[in-house]
Structure 1
Amino acid sequence: MCASVFRKRPCVSSAGMRLPDRKKPAWLPKIGSAKFPGKQPSWFRRPPRWKIQVFSSKSFNPSPRRITNCRLLRPRIDGRFPPPDDMKFPRALRSCPLARFAFVFLVLPAVLRAQSAAPAQIPSFLGWIPMQPVTAGQTIELDMHRFYFAGGSDLGLALPGPVTGQYSAAFDDQTFALQVALDKKASGLIEIPLRFFSHPPEGPALGRKETGVASMAAGGAAEKPVLEGVLLIGVRPADGNHFVYRPKGRKVGKVCVAGQFNGWNTTSHELKPAPDGSFELFVPMSPGAQQYKFVVDGEWTLDPENPEQADDGSGGRNSVARVAATDRGKPPVVFARSAESGKVVFRAVRGGSGIVQASTVLQLPDGNSRPVPHEISGEDVVVDAAGAPPGSWVRAVVSDAKGNVSNAARAPVQTPAEFQWQDGIIYYAFTDRFANGDQSNDRPVNDERVPPQANYQGGDFQGIRRKIDEGYFSDLGVNVLWLAPLNRNPDGAWQEYLPPYRFYTGYHGYWPVSHTEAEPRFGGDAALEEMISAAHGGDIYVIADLVLKHVHADHPLRKERPELFGALELPDGSKNLRRWDDHQFTTWFEEWLPAFDFDRPEAVKFLIGNAVDFAVRYKLDGYRLDAVKHIKPSFWWRYRTAMRTAVDPGRKVPLYSVGETFMDREGIMRFVGPNMLDGQFDFPLYDTIIDVFAKRKSGFEELEKSLSSSESVYGKETLMSPLLGNHDKARFMAYADGDLPDPSESDEEEVGWKNPPKVDDPAAYERLKLGLTFVLGIDGVPMIYYGDEIGMSGAGDPDNRRMMRWGDGVTAEENSVRSHFSKVAKARREHPSLRYGSRRPLVADGDRYAFVRAHLGDSALLAWNRGDNVTEYKFDVAPEMADGTYADVLSGREIEVKNGETAFKLEPMKSALFVAKKD
């Protein structure tokens, strides 16, 4: 309990936050004005490490042996205490000062001594692991922190021994790294069971690195595992290149090859000495051209025997290896066909040959998973999952005789009764620029150095609330609101570190000066709570932007607890400012934005405690997490454990955590998993979307390749978020209209200051519609940035944050974009194939693109024509689409599917979304 209850001072949570008086938890006991003789005990003057919960009782005897209605509460992982069901003190304590004194000074210490030796433990956890695509001959290393939390348990991982011709595996329980080395001849599907067993500390450790390939300890086979999981590896046949380096008389000690295939890693691929004095290595690589260089005793060098070279982009040259693709035909596609009475049926659409292997895994709601028996009947894979608990899913993957591995398809054993995050469409209502609902809180910073674009413009929580009440979001088809950071920001103006040294305010919310107060200019706590309540009343979920990397220099914590922050100056005397890569986890963004030191447990505890507090206090449904790549991965599994244990219990829908990381797909996934983040925004796919739809510099074959890469790397279980733009990117329309790139100014932010884009070409709106259909038609939780639903333009920040326009300020062309978005968004929410379905590409060629999606009897056909002429399409859409009539939700036109085939025409710069016609 909080010591301030006794001392009559502001309540301070055990996370170090001051709680406003009106925010004191209702469950705190009312002790009255007890006065204790002498100096108060020290444990009254600080948040206690332990806490006693006392239940009401009709009688009470303050004897340590008779206290049976009292129990010890251990603080949660965030350092705070869960509200007990009943914190009323017994009647005898409330009425008798002597009994109260005896309890506090005699009984409580005795109970603490008796029970502190056996504290409660946070339960261990293992979450679902997506299929990992790996090329034969390669080694994969998984950070199991992404999936596994040991809690307070002493668990060991039992792994099967090596399988000749397939793989060997080892787990290091110090680093939590799981390594799987595939044989060069490996093929098809490899299921590796992951079983965690409890064992005494003095017993054998399972899966330690020093044991080589881990084997089950004696007696382990008979013991029921505490946690169960399945690591499924989809083996890609080993296309690759044979690298050879000949020193030619030079004495050489070590030769490595670095290139695009390994992220230019200079040590990971070392060539082996050959009898003739050369060095050689076979490296599995994807088909196509790959640039590379040799690293000979630490020095970069071109391949002297390879004449093909390419510009390295820095004035130098790289050697080029070309890997020819082996013709194995198309991989099979598997989709969920039906799920009734616990029987789940998947249908495989053949690629190059028949189905020879299948993996079926039952994924349980507690995160455990295990193989489940199946039967292959022709093209069907039949799974009997009867008896599985509600919330269970079955995942199926197949491979064919040529070694091609399919996609992963998932189906619920029972139809989910509650909202799933795959059902969400996110709308980022950038608070200060969305809608002004209360002009009384309009207080722009009074500083002539601040341009209007960088100052507060009046948007607030009341404005968002008004749009909720008007039904704007429901009419649009979105059901998740993303709010800008909620915390109070500084009152003044601050100068940027880099030229041209402009002054900005905290209108965006990313410079917190308080962790207990919502921004007053946005309406403060009361308006925020009313807005969230209105959203929930309209079946709209709310996620808030959460800033964890830093605070503003005016934050009291900076002065009171300076040890929680890292140093601005580096050992060499330079400043650690915007060192995004070489000081990724410690860099500061500005001199007045001190970055937390994530190696300090006190800093981690403070941040996680406040994240829990905000989620609980404001009834948030999730967080968008800022600057994820600049916070150590070790923070994120602690954050997720706190959310899972302190926020999720009792909720119908678990908290959604989606991050922002500007890296490649593999870098993004370092922070994603059931024990870290649910997903992140798919910026690699975003870049291709802009190139294909807005700039029209790449064809649809590049979009299909990029989308397939996202699906393969992220996996079906991951809740990524595709997007067309956000507050850090220039608007889609600035590219589509040709305003960007600007030949006279390469800096997109400067374009916004000097020559703000405006839409002149009506065709740009049609390009935007094509992009909206795509983002709303693929896996994930799609996100729309405010204003993109009407085609607002804007260059770099802050020009991409113009005030939202309403009413007569919206043109007819802009209204047509909004209507288009609404139709596709509502179709997505009505048709599970667009949210959960498998996807089979039909054509991806230049200006033509189409794919079909199917899931549990629902199907959809999506098509695009980016060209300038009418295009004819003819597709085989069976078995996903049954014979019958299908209607385009955008134009209303109808098509017929007969004998599994359909044909139609598509006008220039149009997309179509065909679904089964309603009776």
Structure 2
Amino acid sequence: MKTYIYILLSTILIQSCSLFPEKNVPIDLEAGSDLNIVDFFDSLSVQILDSSRIDLTENILHNVIEEDNIELSNPIFSKDTFNTIPMQTITYGDTLKLDFSDYIYSNFIDIEIINLENFHSKLANNTLFLSPIVNKNQLSSIKLEINNNILDVIIFSVSSDYDDSLYKKNRNATILKDNADSIEGYLQLNYKYLSSGSYDYNLKDNITFILLGNKILDSRFYHIFGDGIRIMLPKTFQESKLRIISMDNFGVLLNQNNVILFNNNILSPDQNTISPYFSNMYYVLIDRFFNVKNDSSLNLIDRSIDKKVNFYGGDFLGLSKKINNGYFNRLGINNIILSPIATNPKGYYRSEIPPYRKHMGFDGSWPIEANTIDQRFGSSEDLNHLIKNSHQHGLGIHLSYILDYTHLEHEYYSKHTNWFSGNNIDGKSFLFELDFSNQLVVQQISKDIVSWINKYNFDGFHYIYSNRPDKNFWKYLNRLFHAETVIANKLSIIHQDEFNFDLYKIGTDHFSSLAPNFKKLNNSIKKNLNENGSINLLKTVTTLNDEPKFISIADGHFDPLDESDHQIFVDFPTNVINKSNYDKLFMFNLMNNSMPGIPTLFHGDEYGEIGVGHSDSKRNIRFQKKLNDTELKYKSKISKLNNIRTRYPSLSLGDFYVLKEGPDYTVWLKSYFNEHTIIFFNLQDKTTTLNFSIPFESKKMISLLDDQIIELENSRMASIVVPPMQSGILLLDRK
């Protein structure tokens, strides 16, 4: 199965940089009110790559490396860039390898250890090796000076006999964002602590670190109460991330609480800035979307090829026309991912599965050139027009890129056979895997990607690979982006996993199942948030490009044991039998829109298209007049959900907390300072009443999907009546 990775280049500045003092600022901890905290925060500076220095030429970026004995050239940086160094975890008896060049982009990294307790250590080049001294759970900090910047790294060392699942059983203690306010030049942030029971009721008993960027916040700027935390930040701070990391007196780590700070405030959609944290995506299959240039594109089509794997003729101008007509604006979408557009073979290739059907590369997945556009989609001028037009309509444009293989007609395969591993992709004898252990491959593919970005002003990239390249490729790619792209100051760290595959899998299994289990789903979500962070930019999806559509899985169209292409070309589904599967699909989308990350719709998902995988899941798009009443109703509901996601930050940045759960129902809270939303699901075939307590006093709840108002008789208790197979979002009114 191919892995599809989308890399967002329009990531807000916050995630690309952190705050560090230029020098070790002495702070008198006993100075009391004499400490000038404004001066202290003024001493913090942001190290950002100055992209204005770059003078790239298209020819340099397009040049193919001809000599196979050239060593890997390292990108050159004009300034140091510091990314947030996450908390590190190490088990007693093991050794932690912390490579600072993964987070710091610099031509030279000079590291000096200032304070390091509880660990044996060794420093080699850019890497710090640590091993715990004591066999018990400890939450510690180490202080370093790197390139004249002081920073702190938090280390959670774990006992060799510690079982996280046992220790955390029945422990639901958490820190929730309560409210925020501006008071006389300060940003006041209040947090509420919810304990699990009498054994962890007092937050003061915990070991707690609060960090602004990569520096521990001085205790003068916050106070920890038994039931919460108050932080006071002077509004001189720069863009950064505020992190709260806490371990209780039993050695159990609470979920980390994260806040992005921007423009002297918490990040929100009303700050007149484009933030990926409030965005969504739509993956458009260009050939199957809309066609304008009938005369030029359709003449290239071989009519002897089955239409499911032939070119339909969709092009850039057709997509641009639909953008002008407001298709994506009405849908509530603010970013479009284009399917791969690099040149593919003009002719067909036969399938190696009987009856050996002819196939064309209509989806752009058989590249034969690195930097040229397939003319069946349009010209360079057409693409430039599409991108410019999209920007005028408030839409970002992102390009898919085939990362780890080429077609046998590709110039790289003909000129550099030693760049390839010798393996075929997906059993196709005409697709060959690139060898990323070859440093020249790492360098060339990275340069090709940079070439697309700089030439066409793309807002982001979506990566497609079959076998994940190793860490060295991603590391080099990150450094090259920061050194040589004109949008370096908007770029976050590029990770090798950009889809939340675990969430996709558990969501598919749960919502398509005849025996759902919300308790299991909720535990999986908690684990997912712990692994990926409560704030992230992983893509959340209900289907993937080559996979069966969710609604076909739920409706029983797909037979996972059938390895032939019979169900794709002959016995393919034509309609949805059980209409309640549209409700299940909406619930799946509601879950994705309630999680951190970027909700992403694939081609046709907006109206619940069916398909059993591969080309059957890439059907020609159907517009308003060709949709039935159920599809139109579903599309309208999804459009409303998309718009809600972009307007309410609690859905993407809020803390997750389960208020009530059962096998086929659940109620969640998403808490983001002055905004708190309730998300509920009823997967039963009968109406149910859900009663649950609320951590924050409220007067009423407002439904964001239909504007219904529910008055609360008890400010800390709520009761809602939910019809069969329904779900929704409620906004708490605390006034």
When normalised by structure 2's length, the TM-score is: 0.82
Instruction: Pick which of 792-801 and 335-344 moved more.
Output: 335-344
1:242 aligned partner? none
**Which residue does 2:83 correspond to in 1?**
127
CA distance in 2, matches of 1:363, 1:462: 46
Which of 275, 281, 290 is 1:420 aligned to? 275
Q: Is 1:13–2:59 an aligned residue pair?
A: yes
Work out whether residues 99 and 128 of structure 2, in 8 Å CA contact, stay in contact via their aligned partners in 1. Answer: yes
CA offsets, 1:19-67, max 9 Å, x none?
Answer: xxxxxxxxxxxxxxxxxxxxxxxxxx99xx9xxxxxxxxxxxxxxxxxx
Separation in structure 1 between the aligned mates of residue 137 and residue 144 of structure 2, nearest angstrom: 23
| Per-residue Cα deviation, 1:620-643 (whole angstroms, up to 9, x for no partner) | 111111227521210111111121
Which whole-Å CA distance do the structure 2 matches of 1:495 and 1:443 have between them? 21
Is the CA contact (8 Å cut-off) linking 1:429 and 1:483 kept in structure 2? yes
Q: 1:847 to 1:645 in 2, by over 3 A?
A: same
The answer for the alignment partner of 1:460 in structure 2 is 315
- The corresponding residue for 1:480 is 335
Mark the CA change 1:481 to 1:159 in structure 2 (over 3 Å): closer, same or farther: farther
Change (3 A) 1:540 1:362: farther
Equivalent residue of 1:782, what SS?
strand
Whether the 8 Å contact between 1:342 and 1:414 is mirrored in structure 2 is yes
Does the residue aligned with 1:765 lie in a helix, a strand or coil?
Answer: helix
Q: State the 1:723 CA deviation.
A: 0.9
Structure 2: gaps of 5 or more residues: 1-56
Q: 2:424 aligns with which of 571, 577, 581?
A: 577
Q: 1:391 aligned to 228, 232, 239, which one?
A: 239
**CA distance in 2 between partners of 1:495 and 1:825 (Å):** 40
Q: Which of residues 534, 539, 545 in structure 2 aligns to 1:716?
A: 534
Q: 1:741 to 1:12 in 2, by over 3 A?
A: closer
Let me know the Cα RMSD of the aligned residues. 3.2
**Residue by residue, what CA displacement relative to the aligned partner does 1:839-872 show, whole Å, maximum 9, x if unpaired?**
1111232101111111120110000000011111
Partner of 2:612: 795
Shift in Å, 1:699: 0.8
Equivalence for 2:569: 753
Q: Residues 718 and 832 from structure 1, CA distance in 2 versus in 1: closer, same or farther, beyond 3 angstroms?
A: closer
Matched to 1:895, the amino acid is: I
Query: What is the distance in 1 between the residues matched to 2:304 and 2:123?
Result: 56
Distance in 2 (CA, whole Å) between partners of 1:562 and 1:741 is 39
**Given the alignment, which residue of 645, 666, 672 partners 2:483?**
645
- The answer on 1:436 being equivalent to 2:291 is yes
Cα distance, 1:129–1:334 mapped onto 2, change above 3 Å: farther
Q: Which moved more, 1:522-531 or 1:500-509?
A: 500-509
Shift, 1:824, TM fit: 1.6
Counterpart residue number, 1:740 = 558
8 Å Cα contact 1:429/1:786 also seen in 2:
yes
Determine the C-alpha separation between the residues in 2 that align with 1:459 and 1:918.
Answer: 50
Counterpart of 1:331?
173
Alignment-derived partner of residue 729 in structure 1: 547
Max radius of gyration: which structure? Answer: 1
Equivalent position of 1:777 in the other structure:
594
Shifted more, 864-873 versus 624-633: the winner is 624-633
Change in Cα spacing, 1:527 to 1:192, as seen in structure 2 (3 Å) is same
Once the two structures are superposed, residues 421-447 of structure 1 have per-residue CA deviations (whole angstroms, 9 ceiling, x without a partner) of 111111111211122233233237555
Q: For 1:629 and 1:383, how far apart are their aligned partners in 2?
A: 45
The residue type paired with residue 59 of structure 2 is S
Corresponding residue number in structure 1 for 2:196:
351
Partners of 1:447 and 1:599 lie apart in 2 by 39
Quick check: 1:679–1:721 contact (8 Å CA) kept in 2? no
Tell me the amino acid that sits aligned with residue 177 of structure 2. Answer: F
Q: % of aligned pairs identical?
A: 19
1:88-107 aligned at under 5 Å gives the runs none
Name the SS of the counterpart of 1:706 in structure 2. Answer: helix
SS at match of 2:376: helix
**Aligned counterpart, 1:687:** 505
Q: For 1:227 and 1:749, how far apart are their aligned partners in 2?
A: 59
CA distance in 1, matches of 2:236, 2:396: 29
Measure, in 2, the Cα distance between the counterparts of 1:901 and 1:594. 60
> 1:703 corresponds to which residue?
521
Q: CA contact under 8 A between 2:284 and 2:337: conserved in structure 1?
A: yes
Tell me: CA distance 1:503–1:123, structure 2 relative to 1, closer, same or farther (3 Å): farther
Residue type matched to 2:424 in 1?
L
Deviations 1:510-555 (A, max 9, x none): 2222233222111121111111111111221121111221222222
- 1:734, 1:759 within 8 Å by CA — same for their partners in 2? yes
Question: Structure 1 residues 141, 731: CA separation in 2 closer, same or farther (over 3 Å shift)?
Answer: farther
Q: Which residue of structure 1 aligns with residue 700 of structure 2?
A: 885
Q: How does 1:854-893 map to 2 (within 5 A)?
A: 854-879=671-696, 882-893=697-708
Query: Structure 2 matches for 1:623-634, cutoff 5 A?
Result: 623-627=461-465, 629-634=467-472
- Please tell me whether the aligned partners of residues 342 and 374 of structure 2 are also in contact (alpha carbons under 8 angstroms): yes
2:630: which partner in 1? 813
- 1:726 positional shift: 1.7
Amino acid at match of 1:335: K
The AA in structure 1 aligned to 2:237 is P
1:154 to 1:838, Cα distance in 2 relative to 1, 3 A: closer
1:800 Cα deviation after fit: 0.6
Amino acid at match of 1:332: T
- 1:608: Cα distance to partner? 1.7
Q: Separation in 2 of the partners of 1:227 and 1:591?
A: 54
**Residue 501 of structure 1, CA deviation:** 4.1
What SS does structure 2 have at the residue aligned with 1:615? Answer: helix
CA 1:649–1:754 in 2, change beyond 3 Å: closer, same or farther? closer
Which of 224, 228, 233 is the equivalent residue of 1:376? 224
The 8 Å contact of residues 328 and 404 in structure 1, kept in 2 or not, is answered as: no
Per the TM alignment, residue 606 of structure 1 is displaced from its structure 2 partner at its CA by 2.1
The reply to whether residue 602 of structure 1 matches residue 440 of structure 2 is yes
The one-letter amino acid of 2:471's match is: P
Q: Does 1:405 align with 2:253?
A: yes
Q: Which stretch of the first structure deviates more once superposed, 346-355 or 470-479?
A: 346-355
Structure 1 residue aligned with 2:106: 151
Opposite residue 197 of structure 1, the aligned amino acid is I
CA distance 1:850–1:369, shift in 2 (3 Å) = same
2:143 and 2:211 map into 1 onto residues whose CA distance is: 14
Separation in 2, partners of 1:839, 1:227: 33
Q: Distance in 2 between matches of 1:414 and 1:715?
A: 21
Distance 1:718 1:909, change over 3 A: same
Alignment of 1:911 with 2:727, yes or no, is yes
| Aligned position for 2:709 | 894
Q: How far is the alpha carbon of 1:17 from its aligned partner?
A: 3.5
Aligned residues of 1:749 and 1:795 also touching (Cα < 8 A)? no
Q: Is the 8 A contact 1:750 1:796 kept in 2?
A: no
Q: Which has the higher contact order (CA 8 A, sep 6+)?
A: 2
Distance 2:467 2:99 in 1: 18
Secondary structure in structure 2 of the residue aligned to 1:820: helix
How far apart, CA to CA, are the structure 2 residues paired with 1:907 and 1:169?
59
1:230 and 2:153 equivalent? yes
- For residues 748-769 of structure 1, the C-alpha deviation after alignment (integer angstroms, 9 at most, x for no partner) is 8542233212312211111111
Unaligned residue ranges in structure 1 (runs of 5+): 1-10, 19-44, 50-74, 79-119, 199-224, 239-281, 288-323, 569-575, 579-587, 657-673
What is the deviation of 1:344?
Answer: 2.9
The answer to whether the 8 Å contact 1:133/1:713 transfers is no
* 1:53 alignment counterpart: none
In the TM superposition, residue 122 of structure 1 has moved relative to its aligned partner by 5.2
In the aligned structure 1, how far is the partner of 2:639 from the partner of 2:120? 49
Cα distance, 1:133–1:156 mapped onto 2, change above 3 Å? closer
Classify 1:615/1:811 alpha carbon distance in 2 versus 1 (closer, same or farther; 3 Å): same
State the Cα distance separating 1:908 from its structure 2 match.
Answer: 0.7
Counterpart residue type for residue 148 of structure 1: Y
Q: 1:469, CA displacement in angstroms? A: 1.1
SS in 2 for 1:435: coil
CA distance in 2, matches of 1:183, 1:15: 51
Which one of 137, 141, 147 corresponds to residue 192 of structure 1?
Answer: 141
In structure 2, relative to structure 1, the CA distance for the partners of 1:567 and 1:719 (3 Å cut) is: closer
